[in-house]
Amino acid sequence: MYKSKYIKYKNKYLLSKEADISHPITAPYDKGMLNVGDNHQLYYEQIGNPNGIPIVVIHGGPGGGISPKYSTFYDCSKIRLIGYDQRGCGKSIPFGSLEHNTTWDLIEDIEKLRKHLKIEKWNVTGGSWGSTLSLLYGIYHADKILGMIISGVCLLRQIDIDWLYKKGGASQMYPEEWDKFELFIPENERSDLVKAYYERLCSDNEEVRNAACLHWSEWEIKLSFFHEKNSTKEKLKPVLTDLKKIIPLAKIECHYFLNKAFLPSDNYIIENIQKIKDIPLIINQARYDVICPVDSAYRVKKALPNTILRIGPLGGHSRAEQPNINFMVNSVKDLLSSFL
Protein backbone atom coordinates (compact mmCIF):
# COMPACT_ATOMS: atom_id res chain seq x y z
CA MET A 1 0.00 0.00 0.00
CA TYR A 2 1.14 3.51 -0.72
CA LYS A 3 2.53 5.66 2.03
CA SER A 4 1.23 9.19 1.84
CA LYS A 5 3.08 12.34 2.86
CA TYR A 6 2.17 15.97 2.51
CA ILE A 7 3.70 17.84 -0.41
CA LYS A 8 4.22 21.62 -0.54
CA TYR A 9 5.05 23.47 -3.69
CA LYS A 10 5.19 26.98 -5.09
CA ASN A 11 1.96 28.61 -6.16
CA LYS A 12 2.63 29.17 -9.86
CA TYR A 13 -0.08 30.97 -11.79
CA LEU A 14 -0.75 29.39 -15.15
CA LEU A 15 -2.08 31.87 -17.69
CA SER A 16 -4.29 30.97 -20.63
CA LYS A 17 -1.50 31.82 -23.07
CA GLU A 18 0.65 28.98 -21.74
CA ALA A 19 0.92 25.72 -23.64
CA ASP A 20 -1.64 23.04 -22.80
CA ILE A 21 0.17 20.29 -20.84
CA SER A 22 -2.74 17.86 -20.68
CA HIS A 23 -2.30 14.20 -21.62
CA PRO A 24 -3.87 12.31 -24.55
CA ILE A 25 -7.31 10.77 -24.09
CA THR A 26 -6.90 7.18 -22.90
CA ALA A 27 -9.46 4.48 -23.59
CA PRO A 28 -10.70 2.29 -20.71
CA TYR A 29 -9.24 -1.18 -20.24
CA ASP A 30 -12.27 -2.23 -18.18
CA LYS A 31 -15.96 -1.30 -18.12
CA GLY A 32 -18.86 -2.54 -16.05
CA MET A 33 -22.20 -1.96 -14.35
CA LEU A 34 -22.39 -2.11 -10.54
CA ASN A 35 -25.71 -2.92 -8.89
CA VAL A 36 -25.89 -0.61 -5.86
CA GLY A 37 -29.46 -1.51 -4.90
CA ASP A 38 -32.67 0.52 -5.01
CA ASN A 39 -33.02 -0.48 -8.68
CA HIS A 40 -29.90 1.54 -9.57
CA GLN A 41 -26.91 0.33 -11.57
CA LEU A 42 -23.81 2.50 -11.93
CA TYR A 43 -21.66 2.56 -15.03
CA TYR A 44 -17.93 2.56 -14.23
CA GLU A 45 -14.69 2.28 -16.16
CA GLN A 46 -11.00 1.87 -15.42
CA ILE A 47 -8.27 3.56 -17.39
CA GLY A 48 -4.48 3.32 -17.42
CA ASN A 49 -2.28 1.03 -15.36
CA PRO A 50 -4.11 -1.73 -13.40
CA ASN A 51 -1.18 -1.72 -10.94
CA GLY A 52 -0.91 2.06 -10.75
CA ILE A 53 -1.90 4.50 -8.03
CA PRO A 54 -5.70 4.40 -7.72
CA ILE A 55 -7.66 7.60 -8.30
CA VAL A 56 -11.44 7.90 -8.44
CA VAL A 57 -13.00 10.81 -10.33
CA ILE A 58 -16.25 12.21 -8.91
CA HIS A 59 -18.04 14.18 -11.59
CA GLY A 60 -20.04 17.37 -11.22
CA GLY A 61 -23.67 18.29 -11.53
CA PRO A 62 -25.66 17.20 -9.68
CA GLY A 63 -26.82 15.25 -12.69
CA GLY A 64 -23.70 15.43 -14.85
CA GLY A 65 -21.60 12.48 -15.92
CA ILE A 66 -18.02 11.58 -16.63
CA SER A 67 -16.59 13.60 -19.51
CA PRO A 68 -15.04 11.79 -22.48
CA LYS A 69 -11.90 13.87 -21.86
CA TYR A 70 -11.49 13.47 -18.10
CA SER A 71 -8.48 11.16 -18.51
CA THR A 72 -6.46 14.03 -20.03
CA PHE A 73 -5.71 15.42 -16.56
CA TYR A 74 -3.80 12.27 -15.62
CA ASP A 75 -0.65 10.43 -16.67
CA CYS A 76 -2.43 7.13 -17.13
CA SER A 77 0.80 5.15 -17.52
CA LYS A 78 1.26 5.51 -13.75
CA ILE A 79 -2.34 5.69 -12.56
CA ARG A 80 -5.27 3.32 -12.16
CA LEU A 81 -7.99 5.84 -12.97
CA ILE A 82 -11.60 5.06 -12.08
CA GLY A 83 -14.48 7.05 -13.52
CA TYR A 84 -18.16 6.39 -12.94
CA ASP A 85 -21.59 7.92 -13.50
CA GLN A 86 -23.64 8.75 -10.41
CA ARG A 87 -27.23 7.57 -9.95
CA GLY A 88 -29.44 8.63 -12.83
CA CYS A 89 -26.49 10.08 -14.79
CA GLY A 90 -24.63 9.26 -17.98
CA LYS A 91 -24.70 5.54 -18.71
CA SER A 92 -26.03 4.59 -15.29
CA ILE A 93 -29.58 3.26 -15.14
CA PRO A 94 -32.36 4.15 -14.75
CA PHE A 95 -31.35 7.39 -16.46
CA GLY A 96 -32.71 10.54 -14.86
CA SER A 97 -34.30 8.73 -11.92
CA LEU A 98 -34.93 10.73 -8.72
CA GLU A 99 -35.97 7.65 -6.73
CA HIS A 100 -33.48 6.79 -3.98
CA ASN A 101 -31.27 9.57 -5.30
CA THR A 102 -29.87 11.56 -2.38
CA THR A 103 -26.43 12.74 -1.31
CA TRP A 104 -26.19 9.91 1.18
CA ASP A 105 -26.98 7.32 -1.47
CA LEU A 106 -24.22 8.77 -3.66
CA ILE A 107 -21.65 8.72 -0.84
CA GLU A 108 -22.30 5.08 -0.08
CA ASP A 109 -22.16 4.28 -3.80
CA ILE A 110 -18.54 5.50 -3.83
CA GLU A 111 -17.74 3.03 -1.05
CA LYS A 112 -19.54 0.21 -2.84
CA LEU A 113 -17.48 0.93 -5.95
CA ARG A 114 -14.22 0.92 -3.95
CA LYS A 115 -15.07 -2.44 -2.39
CA HIS A 116 -16.20 -3.88 -5.71
CA LEU A 117 -12.85 -2.98 -7.28
CA LYS A 118 -10.99 -4.37 -4.23
CA ILE A 119 -9.11 -1.13 -3.60
CA GLU A 120 -7.93 -0.63 0.00
CA LYS A 121 -7.36 3.14 -0.27
CA TRP A 122 -7.49 5.58 -3.14
CA ASN A 123 -7.05 9.20 -4.09
CA VAL A 124 -10.21 11.22 -4.68
CA THR A 125 -10.68 14.04 -7.19
CA GLY A 126 -13.79 16.08 -7.93
CA GLY A 127 -14.89 19.46 -9.20
CA SER A 128 -17.97 21.58 -8.46
CA TRP A 129 -20.66 19.16 -7.18
CA GLY A 130 -17.86 16.59 -7.33
CA SER A 131 -16.00 18.65 -4.72
CA THR A 132 -19.09 18.55 -2.47
CA LEU A 133 -19.27 14.76 -2.68
CA SER A 134 -15.50 14.40 -2.29
CA LEU A 135 -15.53 16.38 0.96
CA LEU A 136 -18.57 14.52 2.30
CA TYR A 137 -17.08 11.16 1.33
CA GLY A 138 -13.94 12.17 3.19
CA ILE A 139 -15.92 13.16 6.28
CA TYR A 140 -17.51 9.69 6.40
CA HIS A 141 -14.68 7.55 5.02
CA ALA A 142 -11.44 9.41 5.74
CA ASP A 143 -9.62 6.14 6.42
CA LYS A 144 -10.10 5.10 2.81
CA ILE A 145 -8.48 8.17 1.24
CA LEU A 146 -4.81 8.67 0.40
CA GLY A 147 -5.13 12.24 -0.86
CA MET A 148 -7.64 14.59 -2.43
CA ILE A 149 -7.79 17.23 -5.16
CA ILE A 150 -10.91 19.36 -5.52
CA SER A 151 -11.74 22.33 -7.73
CA GLY A 152 -14.56 24.82 -8.04
CA VAL A 153 -15.44 24.19 -4.40
CA CYS A 154 -19.14 23.96 -3.64
CA LEU A 155 -20.33 23.78 -0.01
CA LEU A 156 -24.00 23.91 -1.01
CA ARG A 157 -25.04 26.30 1.72
CA GLN A 158 -28.22 28.29 1.25
CA ILE A 159 -26.08 31.30 0.39
CA ASP A 160 -24.52 29.31 -2.47
CA ILE A 161 -27.91 28.32 -3.89
CA ASP A 162 -29.23 31.87 -3.49
CA TRP A 163 -26.18 33.25 -5.28
CA LEU A 164 -27.23 31.40 -8.42
CA TYR A 165 -31.01 31.46 -8.19
CA LYS A 166 -31.99 34.66 -6.39
CA LYS A 167 -31.68 38.18 -7.72
CA GLY A 168 -28.67 40.03 -6.38
CA GLY A 169 -26.02 37.32 -6.78
CA ALA A 170 -24.73 36.08 -10.13
CA SER A 171 -27.60 38.03 -11.71
CA GLN A 172 -25.56 41.20 -11.21
CA MET A 173 -22.78 39.81 -13.42
CA TYR A 174 -25.06 38.47 -16.15
CA PRO A 175 -28.17 40.69 -16.06
CA GLU A 176 -29.35 39.96 -19.60
CA GLU A 177 -29.15 36.20 -19.12
CA TRP A 178 -30.80 36.54 -15.70
CA ASP A 179 -33.75 38.34 -17.21
CA LYS A 180 -34.31 35.45 -19.62
CA PHE A 181 -34.00 32.94 -16.78
CA GLU A 182 -36.28 34.81 -14.36
CA LEU A 183 -38.93 36.05 -16.81
CA PHE A 184 -39.71 32.49 -17.90
CA ILE A 185 -41.41 32.07 -14.50
CA PRO A 186 -44.64 33.99 -13.70
CA GLU A 187 -44.08 36.92 -11.34
CA ASN A 188 -46.08 35.37 -8.48
CA GLU A 189 -43.66 32.37 -8.37
CA ARG A 190 -40.34 34.20 -8.64
CA SER A 191 -39.66 34.23 -4.89
CA ASP A 192 -38.50 30.59 -5.23
CA LEU A 193 -37.19 29.99 -8.73
CA VAL A 194 -35.73 26.57 -7.89
CA LYS A 195 -39.14 25.30 -6.82
CA ALA A 196 -40.84 26.90 -9.80
CA TYR A 197 -38.41 25.35 -12.27
CA TYR A 198 -38.61 21.97 -10.53
CA GLU A 199 -42.38 21.86 -10.99
CA ARG A 200 -41.99 22.55 -14.69
CA LEU A 201 -39.10 20.12 -15.17
CA CYS A 202 -41.31 17.41 -13.68
CA SER A 203 -44.40 18.47 -15.66
CA ASP A 204 -46.43 15.98 -17.68
CA ASN A 205 -46.48 18.56 -20.46
CA GLU A 206 -43.55 17.91 -22.81
CA GLU A 207 -43.52 21.46 -24.16
CA VAL A 208 -43.31 22.89 -20.62
CA ARG A 209 -40.50 20.47 -19.68
CA ASN A 210 -38.50 21.32 -22.78
CA ALA A 211 -38.79 25.07 -22.29
CA ALA A 212 -37.87 24.88 -18.60
CA CYS A 213 -34.87 22.70 -19.37
CA LEU A 214 -33.54 25.09 -22.00
CA HIS A 215 -33.86 28.15 -19.74
CA TRP A 216 -32.29 26.33 -16.76
CA SER A 217 -29.41 24.95 -18.81
CA GLU A 218 -28.66 28.15 -20.73
CA TRP A 219 -28.36 30.11 -17.49
CA GLU A 220 -25.91 27.65 -15.96
CA ILE A 221 -23.84 27.07 -19.08
CA LYS A 222 -23.42 30.80 -19.70
CA LEU A 223 -21.97 31.18 -16.20
CA SER A 224 -19.59 28.23 -16.60
CA PHE A 225 -17.06 29.77 -18.98
CA PHE A 226 -14.54 32.53 -18.42
CA HIS A 227 -13.83 32.98 -22.13
CA GLU A 228 -16.82 34.34 -24.03
CA LYS A 229 -16.04 32.28 -27.15
CA ASN A 230 -16.66 29.07 -25.19
CA SER A 231 -20.17 30.08 -24.15
CA THR A 232 -21.56 31.12 -27.53
CA LYS A 233 -24.87 29.68 -28.68
CA GLU A 234 -23.24 28.19 -31.77
CA LYS A 235 -20.82 26.13 -29.72
CA LEU A 236 -23.43 25.05 -27.18
CA LYS A 237 -26.25 24.35 -29.63
CA PRO A 238 -25.49 20.60 -29.91
CA VAL A 239 -25.62 20.29 -26.11
CA LEU A 240 -28.79 22.29 -25.61
CA THR A 241 -30.71 20.56 -28.39
CA ASP A 242 -30.17 17.05 -26.99
CA LEU A 243 -33.24 17.33 -24.76
CA LYS A 244 -33.45 13.59 -24.06
CA LYS A 245 -30.20 13.94 -22.16
CA ILE A 246 -30.37 17.37 -20.59
CA ILE A 247 -33.97 17.29 -19.29
CA PRO A 248 -33.23 14.49 -16.77
CA LEU A 249 -29.96 16.17 -15.82
CA ALA A 250 -31.59 19.56 -15.20
CA LYS A 251 -34.25 17.75 -13.15
CA ILE A 252 -31.65 15.96 -10.99
CA GLU A 253 -29.78 19.20 -10.33
CA CYS A 254 -32.98 21.01 -9.43
CA HIS A 255 -33.97 18.06 -7.20
CA TYR A 256 -30.76 18.41 -5.17
CA PHE A 257 -30.92 22.18 -4.89
CA LEU A 258 -34.58 22.11 -3.86
CA ASN A 259 -33.66 19.70 -1.06
CA LYS A 260 -30.49 21.62 -0.09
CA ALA A 261 -28.43 18.55 -0.99
CA PHE A 262 -30.17 16.60 1.80
CA LEU A 263 -27.64 17.97 4.31
CA PRO A 264 -28.74 18.10 7.97
CA SER A 265 -27.50 21.67 8.51
CA ASP A 266 -26.72 24.65 6.31
CA ASN A 267 -22.96 24.66 6.91
CA TYR A 268 -22.60 20.91 7.42
CA ILE A 269 -19.34 20.43 5.53
CA ILE A 270 -17.38 23.09 7.41
CA GLU A 271 -18.90 21.97 10.72
CA ASN A 272 -17.48 18.47 10.15
CA ILE A 273 -14.40 19.19 8.07
CA GLN A 274 -11.90 18.45 10.84
CA LYS A 275 -12.54 14.78 10.14
CA ILE A 276 -10.37 15.13 7.01
CA LYS A 277 -7.61 17.24 8.58
CA ASP A 278 -5.05 14.46 8.08
CA ILE A 279 -5.80 13.95 4.39
CA PRO A 280 -3.45 15.78 1.98
CA LEU A 281 -5.75 18.23 0.20
CA ILE A 282 -5.11 20.45 -2.81
CA ILE A 283 -7.71 22.97 -3.97
CA ASN A 284 -7.63 24.47 -7.46
CA GLN A 285 -9.89 27.50 -7.57
CA ALA A 286 -10.40 30.04 -10.34
CA ARG A 287 -10.72 33.65 -9.23
CA TYR A 288 -13.62 34.31 -11.65
CA ASP A 289 -15.62 31.16 -11.05
CA VAL A 290 -19.15 32.59 -11.12
CA ILE A 291 -20.95 29.34 -10.28
CA CYS A 292 -18.79 28.45 -7.27
CA PRO A 293 -17.20 31.69 -6.02
CA VAL A 294 -13.79 31.58 -4.40
CA ASP A 295 -15.22 32.20 -0.91
CA SER A 296 -16.09 28.51 -0.48
CA ALA A 297 -12.55 27.39 -1.25
CA TYR A 298 -11.25 30.00 1.17
CA ARG A 299 -13.56 28.70 3.94
CA VAL A 300 -12.12 25.21 3.51
CA LYS A 301 -8.57 26.56 3.57
CA LYS A 302 -9.32 28.60 6.69
CA ALA A 303 -10.75 25.55 8.47
CA LEU A 304 -7.84 23.35 7.33
CA PRO A 305 -4.69 25.55 7.33
CA ASN A 306 -2.50 22.79 5.86
CA THR A 307 -4.61 22.70 2.72
CA ILE A 308 -2.88 23.94 -0.42
CA LEU A 309 -5.14 26.52 -2.07
CA ARG A 310 -4.16 27.65 -5.55
CA ILE A 311 -6.19 30.51 -7.00
CA GLY A 312 -5.89 31.06 -10.73
CA PRO A 313 -6.17 34.71 -11.76
CA LEU A 314 -7.76 34.17 -15.17
CA GLY A 315 -10.12 31.23 -14.91
CA GLY A 316 -13.82 30.44 -14.63
CA HIS A 317 -15.83 27.44 -13.52
CA SER A 318 -15.20 25.04 -16.39
CA ARG A 319 -12.22 22.74 -16.02
CA ALA A 320 -12.14 22.42 -19.80
CA GLU A 321 -10.56 25.89 -20.11
CA GLN A 322 -7.09 27.18 -19.39
CA PRO A 323 -5.63 27.83 -16.88
CA ASN A 324 -7.80 25.24 -15.12
CA ILE A 325 -6.49 22.41 -17.30
CA ASN A 326 -2.86 22.98 -16.40
CA PHE A 327 -3.73 23.58 -12.75
CA MET A 328 -5.28 20.13 -12.55
CA VAL A 329 -2.49 18.35 -14.43
CA ASN A 330 0.16 19.87 -12.16
CA SER A 331 -1.84 19.23 -8.99
CA VAL A 332 -2.21 15.55 -9.83
CA LYS A 333 1.51 15.34 -10.48
CA ASP A 334 2.35 17.05 -7.18
CA LEU A 335 -0.07 15.04 -5.07
CA LEU A 336 1.15 11.73 -6.45
CA SER A 337 4.88 12.51 -6.38
CA SER A 338 5.19 10.94 -2.94
CA PHE A 339 3.92 7.60 -4.30
CA LEU A 340 6.15 7.37 -7.39
- How wide is the angle at C-alpha 288 spanned by C-alphas 286 and 290, nearest 5°? 110
> How many CB atoms sit inside 10 A of residue 46's CB?
18
Any catalytic annotation for residue 289? yes
Tell me the C-alpha distance between 129 and 155, whole Å: 9
Which of the following is catalytic: 289, 296, 331, 334? 289
Catalytic residue among 317, 318, 331, 334: 317
Q: For residue 298, which amino acid is it?
A: Y
How many Cβ atoms sit within 10 Å of the Cβ of residue 183? Answer: 11
Give CA–CA dist 287/290, Å, rounded: 9
| Radius of gyration of the chain, Cα coordinates, nearest whole angstrom | 19
Q: Is 192 a catalytic residue?
A: no
134-139: Cβ within 8 A, 24+ apart: 134/58, 135/269, 135/273, 135/276, 135/300, 136/103, 136/107, 136/269, 137/58, 137/107, 137/110, 137/111, 138/275, 138/276, 138/279, 139/269, 139/272, 139/273, 139/275, 139/276
Report the C-alpha gap between 181 and 77 in whole angstroms. 45
Catalytic residue among 4, 71, 128, 134: 128
Chain-centroid distance of CA 48 in Å reads 22
Which residue type does 320 have?
A: A
Known active-site residue 317:
yes
Would you name the residues annotated as active-site residues? Answer: 128, 289, 317
